[in-house]
Amino acid sequence: MKNFDALNHIKGKSLYIDDYPLPEGTLHAVVFNSEIAHGKITSLNLEKAKAIAGVVAIITAKDIPGENQIGGIIQDETLLAESEVHFIGEPIALVLASSIDIARKAARIIEVEFVKLPIITEPREAFAQNSLIVPPIIFSSGNINDAWDKCDVVVEDSIDSGGQEHLYLETQGAISIPIEDNKLKLISSTQSPTSVQKQVSKVLGLPMHQIEVDVLRLGGAFGGKEDQATVWGVLAALASYVTNSPIKLVLSREDDLRMTGKRHPYSSDYKIGLSNDGKIIAYEVTYYQNAGAVADLSTAVLERTLFHATNSYFIPNVKATGISCKTNLPPNTAFRGFGGPQGMFVIEAAIAKASITLGLRALEVQKRNLLKDEQHFYFGQKVKNSQAINSWNAVEKTFDSKNLMQEVNEFNSKNKLLKKGFSFMPICFGISFTSSFLNQASALVHIYTDGSVGISTGAVEMGQGVNVKIATAASKTFSIATSKIRVESTNTTRAANTSPTAASSGADMNGNATILACAKILDRLIKFAKIELKTNDTDVVTIANEIVIVNKKPTTLTWEELVNKAYFSRISLSAQAYYRTPEIHFNRTINQGSPFAYHVYGTAFTTVTLDVLRGTYKLDSVKIVHDFGKSLNRNIDIGQVEGALVQGIGWMTMEELKYSSDGKLLANALSTYKIPDIYSVPDKIEIEFLDNSENRFGPFNSKAIGEPPLMYGIGAYFAILDAMKNTKPKKKFEVSAPLTSEKVLMALYD
Amino acid sequence: MELKIEFILNNKIISVVDNPAKTLLDYIRDNEGLKGTKEGCREGDCGACTVLLGEVINNKLKYKSVNSCLYPIGNAVGKHIVTIEGLSSKSLTPIQEEFNNEGATQCGFCTPGFINSLTGYVIENNELKTDDAKSAIAGNICRCTGYASIKRASENVIAKINDLNISGSERIKSLVEEKFLPKYFLEIEEKLLRLKTSLKVKDNKSTLVGGGTDLFVQNANALLSQNISFIKKLNLSEIETRDNYCHVDAGVTIEQFKNSEIISEHFPNLPSQLNLFASQPIRNSATIGGNIVNASPIGDSTIIFLALNSDIIINSKNGKRKIKLNNFYNSYKEIDLLENEMVEKIIFELPTTSTKFNFEKVSKRTHLDIASVNSAISISTEDEIITNIFISSGGISPIPLYLKKTSQFLINKKIDSQIILEALNIAQSEISPISDIRGNVEYKRLLLNQLIKAHFIKLFPKQIDVEALL
């Protein structure tokens, strides 16, 4: 079955924020924002802008009735700047006008004066100045200090990975509509309706029940609308509150790129110790995370980096230090993988470097150290149901990787101007929010008297197909066709106190809650059917394919009739249910515990061809064996792997965020920030389902899919590096991610 | 400025008085309320706003894809504009069906643009090939799918059509029968012939808009309050040979130039190299003249014409003048063109059998990106001795640069690796790149060397010792 929304998408009928019909009198909002990265506001003159015909109001921090504070984890983020700005793009005022053009024109002539203050753009510089979001976080196991003596080889180095713009095709936005009695309804492009509701409530000083947030769908999000959709929703709500008018606030691409945070750039130091035969004995790593000007989700992102410091490998002695550095960039935020990719990239870089010293191939070291059941992750969680070795072996077998490597060697011996390289990239990604309290969800299921079903959960549809998975879970539980099921918009009046649709957990948690809710109604219906059909106590009554079955024999009672009769017999056809992920815990005093319900595994084999003369490269193929558990929907899950892989490749290869020394984003348009197009993706992507993987935590044994496959993209970096080594075997390359063709060419010929 | 503007939007004849500089995107979404056409970037770099544009050329209704965010409604006069709503009915078109089957839509925001681009390709091409279809949708960016499912869908569509054996002569009719297009397409040609096809603009002090793909990226807002005029013969312009010279009207689009038989006959590799110029919807609108006048130091076509030692004809009320393109650029974005003048033609000599041509471009992303450095070469030889040579390069100077000293140094030299290495030193002395988002100075300098090497390795594989150049 296909994505529910697909039929509307392909006809251009799907509504996004910018497409909604607007209520009469809607005002259009444009955010006036800081053009300097750090400074004190000495004067702000709105008069000229206010004088433009059509301008209705210009809102500043002074207009906020409640708290000027929207920080999620740490309370360090104002909605509108008061006396000081901390990054280029920080909102200062909100212009409201009868049209978007007038609002933009007015915003351009607002006069503001600053006294500039010193700025920091690099995380190590921030660390040197003790400009930190929180004190350093340290995870460790074994005894790192004693371990170095036991190693035959110890390798140290530093490596950077760049940030990444989400580039959801739909920019950020919200519509706010005042309803009677200080009630506001918001239509928001957010992954986290409850966050929007909570922050609006705080800023306006209204109880949460006065704020209704509705989300139909997002035109892409990738983490960029987890925390960072909130500010736009709150600004729209504030404007409605002040003017008592409906407000539309949709960012232009230019404003979106300028004002919103990205994936965190990291600069990391590592030290890795191994035995001569490639067993990793010790690993010490320090991550300097570029958090930007306020905390946003940075501390949680950093924690996930620490949880993924060792990727798919068992290492007995580990010390990992995470330092969240405060700089004068827009607050960096969640992005698919949530810090995991940054952590995994460093261990892979360490292995690649150590392998050269050992005279081994990276794949030998990687394979030697793959996780096995009954070992422990260095933060204390026991390894269960590990598929690390299985997926690696399956790649070797299914795709005959030995032969592929042989082909690479033969090609290289025959060609001077082109050289190939390859890499193995195993992944191991923990599923569950690492803030354990977030691992809860609810579902509200209604069966209408005609037998059709409506489901509301906390999950937000953003293209990942969560609605289809929820419908599939309900369809399987009731044994009715998915065409009878509608998954409704995500709405805070139908699903309260929701967790963001994030951490790959949307389908797992909301699907499980849906199954529980459906089971409650099903239980009532079966009991009712037994009465209706006058069965004996020993008879087994079920529903299969919309027919009531007694002792495996179909009756004449259909789903519709059963539902309708149940209604007239005053049986409740609605149920709400609650799910919380069991067995997870983490102790932040000792930084040990079992924070993940399970892990997702897989292995990718990547080959590239490098143009030696021009420094450009082409990805030939990526061959993946992935651990889907028992996939709920193969069509959707394969799409998630392909899409995530290419996003990961983009992060590792061409997506380069450059900032000027005064904190200005230079890659500030689609003409300068390049994401993969149809030509830059691998010629061939092959994905195989790993056999015999079970998962009791996922609906019908499925596994979470959103984030893990992004990290296969890391393989592209190491395949390119391999091709560079094959071009100049004696050269030592000092490169970093993204490995752009500029860096490749400079490294080959410097 | 407001003018009466008439065109057909899907199945509806539009006759409005409006600002001709308003973009089609805004008109479609705001005036007509058709929300299937999406705003993704407003600079032609994402394709979410792609629509089809139909016009009768040489008595034949032809369609092409354009980015509606850069397309002024003044240029839509007399044409048929097709949005996703104009392709959709209760049943799915085979293209929509394949997008559905293959899961080629996830968040859905880019999807209408893809479907329009692919439909345009299917209408216009009698022989469908996977690679060409890929090129037709390469101006559409998708952030969700990684394109794999989109490629599968497009391959399925091609297989399906190739099985149908649709005739070339009545292609639109056949495509209507096979449900690729709704029925109203059958009446469009007749309706278009009854529409006015040009705008009346009589003002010498107006900004001349060609395809709009540069002007509307840079100045869309400012243009709304200016007088603008449009090239009458956009798309009807011609490429012709006279004696041994090729004459290209300034209004020729890049795509027209790329597909010209004259060009493919004399420069067999150039059409595929021009795939590196922006994307098909941009190439469908962007004109040769516009690219030259825009004076971007990295304009791809400018670099090509510089290496062809082109002349340009400049036209004004006071008559015509002819200058070397090479002398047209004074300094960054400063050109030798007076207010009342316009570039009318580009003229260059066609190559003889002893002349070879090559174009090289490296950008961060290979396609739909602006070059870090590009370079072209036109070289004539006799017995391995260079008799004439023009090398040009972009991205290494404030203007698109003809590498005069380098070229002159190489004349009368025998081609070998040593002489090329010497030429590189001279090239380095006549360029002045700056560090920017497209690369650092050191990179651009190195890259130009590599591209010059690439010219010779490609054109003279037997004379060149590759090892000596690596």
Q: Which of B62, B61, B78, B66 is nearest to B20 (CA)?
A: B78
Does the beta carbon of B40 lie under 8 angstroms from any beta carbon of chain A?
A: yes
Distance CA B369, CA A677 (A): 10
Residue located via tokens 């950093």: A302
Chain A: residue whose CA lies nearest to B448: A614
pLDDT at A668 over 90: yes
pLDDT at A10 over 70: yes
CA dihedral sign, ordered A215, A220, A223, A227: negative
- Asked whether the beta carbons of B376 and B394 are under 8 A apart, the reply is no
Q: Provide the shortest C-alpha distance from residue B319 to chain A (in Å).
A: 38
Chain B residues inside the 8 Å CB shell of A647: 143, 146
- A321-363 tens-digit pLDDT: 999 999 999 999 999 999 999 999 999 999 999 999 999 999 9
* Backbone angles phi and psi of A721, in degrees to 5: -60, -40
Contact between B447 and A15 using a beta-carbon 8 Å cutoff: no
Give B 275-314 residues with CB within 8 A of chain A: none
**Helices (H), ranges, A602-737:** 634-653, 714-727
CA dihedral sign, ordered B68, B70, B73, B79: negative
For the segment A5-31, the average pLDDT, to the nearest whole number, is: 97
Residues B317 and B428 reside in one and the same domain: yes
- Asked whether the beta carbons of A567 and A573 are under 8 A apart, the reply is yes
Residues B174 and B129 reside in one and the same domain: yes
pLDDT score of B233 = 63
Q: Which of A112, A117, A40 is nearest to A82 (CA)?
A: A40
Q: Provide the shortest C-alpha distance from residue B109 to chain A (in Å).
A: 5
CATH number of the domain enclosing B64: 3.10.20.30
pLDDT score of B202 = 59
Does the beta carbon of B103 lie under 8 angstroms from any beta carbon of chain A?
A: yes
- B361-415 tens-digit pLDDT: 999 999 999 999 999 999 999 999 999 999 999 999 999 999 999 999 999 999 9
Chain A residues inside the 8 Å CB shell of B45: 669-671
Confidence grade of residue B197 (pLDDT, cut at 50, 70, 90):
confident
Buried/exposed A363-387: b ≥16 CB within 10 Å, e otherwise: bbbbbbbbbeeeeebbbbbebeebb
Angle between helices B94-101 and B111-124 (to 10 degrees): 130
Residues B289 and B199 reside in one and the same domain: no
Contact between B142 and A169 using a beta-carbon 8 Å cutoff: yes
CATH number of the domain enclosing B256: 3.30.465.10
Confidence grade of residue B1 (pLDDT, cut at 50, 70, 90):
confident
Residues B209 and B316 reside in one and the same domain: no
pLDDT at A283 over 70: yes
- The proportion of chain B whose per-residue pLDDT surpasses 70, expressed as a percent, equals 98
pLDDT at B6 over 80: yes
**Helices (H), ranges, B368-440:** 404-410, 417-429
- The reply to whether domains A266-434+588-749 and A440-580 share a CATH topology is yes
Residues B260 and B121 reside in one and the same domain: no
pLDDT at A179 over 70: yes
What single-letter DSSP state applies at residue A708? G
Share the mean pLDDT of chain B. 95
Q: How many CB atoms lie within 10 A of CB A452?
A: 15
pLDDT score of A345 = 98
- The proportion of chain A whose per-residue pLDDT surpasses 90, expressed as a percent, equals 98
pLDDT at B201 over 70: no
- A220-275 tens-digit pLDDT: 999 999 999 999 999 999 999 999 999 999 999 999 999 999 999 999 999 999 99
Confidence grade of residue B317 (pLDDT, cut at 50, 70, 90):
confident
C-alpha gyration radius of chain A: 27
Contact between A3 and B84 using a beta-carbon 8 Å cutoff: no
Residues B59 and B105 reside in one and the same domain: no
Does the beta carbon of B52 lie under 8 angstroms from any beta carbon of chain A?
A: no
pLDDT score of B304 = 98
What's domain A440-580's architecture?
Answer: 2-Layer Sandwich (3.30)
Confidence grade of residue B236 (pLDDT, cut at 50, 70, 90):
low
pLDDT score of B208 = 87
User: By residue range, what is the domain housing residue B409?
Assistant: 239-469
pLDDT at B198 over 80: no
Chain A residues inside the 8 Å CB shell of B143: 166-169, 220, 222, 643, 647, 675
Does the beta carbon of A531 lie under 8 angstroms from any beta carbon of chain B?
A: no
- A501-533 tens-digit pLDDT: 999 999 999 999 999 999 999 999 999 999 999
Query: Residues of A with catalytic annotation?
Result: 707
Taking phi over 0 as left and psi of -120 to 50 as alpha, with beta for the rest, B59 belongs to left
pLDDT score of B340 = 87
Contact between B107 and A463 using a beta-carbon 8 Å cutoff: yes
CB pairs under 8 A between A and B: 228
pLDDT at A748 over 90: yes
Lowest mean pLDDT among B7-16, B203-212, B285-294, B443-452: B203-212
- B320-331 tens-digit pLDDT: 999 999 999 999
Does the beta carbon of A108 lie under 8 angstroms from any beta carbon of chain B?
A: no
pLDDT score of B203 = 61
Say whether B19 sits in a helix, a strand or coil: coil
Give A 454-473 residues with CB within 8 A of chain B: 462-465
**Cβ-nearest to B138 among A13, A671, A678:** A678
Contact between A646 and B146 using a beta-carbon 8 Å cutoff: yes
pLDDT at A585 over 70: yes
Within chain B, what is the greatest distance between any pair of CA atoms?
69
Residues B26 and B12 reside in one and the same domain: yes
Q: Provide the shortest C-alpha distance from residue B23 to chain A (in Å).
A: 14
Q: How many domains does chain B have?
A: 3
- A538-565 tens-digit pLDDT: 999 999 999 999 999 999 999 999 999 9
pLDDT at B234 over 70: no
Residues B255 and B363 reside in one and the same domain: yes
Does the beta carbon of B465 lie under 8 angstroms from any beta carbon of chain A?
A: no
Residues B162 and B304 reside in one and the same domain: no
Does the beta carbon of A93 lie under 8 angstroms from any beta carbon of chain B?
A: no
* Backbone angles phi and psi of B110, in degrees to 5: -85, -15
Contact between A11 and B145 using a beta-carbon 8 Å cutoff: no
Chain A: residue whose CA lies nearest to B90: A11
Residues B160 and B225 reside in one and the same domain: no
Tell me whether the omega of the peptide bond preceding residue A738 falls within 30 degrees of 0, making it cis.
yes
Does the beta carbon of A421 lie under 8 angstroms from any beta carbon of chain B?
A: no
pLDDT score of B223 = 92
Q: Provide the shortest C-alpha distance from residue A610 to chain B (in Å).
A: 13
Does the beta carbon of B131 lie under 8 angstroms from any beta carbon of chain A?
A: no
Contact between A253 and B100 using a beta-carbon 8 Å cutoff: no
Share the mean pLDDT of chain A. 97
Pairwise pLDDT comparison (B228 vs A114), residue with the higher score: A114
- B108-127 tens-digit pLDDT: 999 999 999 999 999 999 99
pLDDT at A160 over 80: yes
Distance CA A661, CA A449 (A): 64
- B37-93 tens-digit pLDDT: 999 999 999 999 999 999 998 889 999 999 999 999 999 999 999 999 999 999 999
Does the beta carbon of B150 lie under 8 angstroms from any beta carbon of chain A?
A: yes
The CATH code for residues A266-434+588-749 is 3.30.365.10
- B118-155 tens-digit pLDDT: 999 999 999 999 999 999 999 999 999 999 999 999 99
Domain range annotation of chain A? 6-118+166-259, 266-434+588-749, 440-580
- Distance in Å from the first CA to the final CA of chain A: 53
Does the beta carbon of A22 lie under 8 angstroms from any beta carbon of chain B?
A: no
**Cβ-nearest to B108 among A9, A222, A254:** A9
pLDDT score of A420 = 98
Does the beta carbon of A164 lie under 8 angstroms from any beta carbon of chain B?
A: no
CATH number of the domain enclosing B134: 1.10.150.120
pLDDT at B356 over 70: yes
The CATH code for residues A6-118+166-259 is 3.90.1170.50
Q: Provide the shortest C-alpha distance from residue B77 to chain A (in Å).
A: 25
Give B 217-256 residues with CB within 8 A of chain A: 217, 221
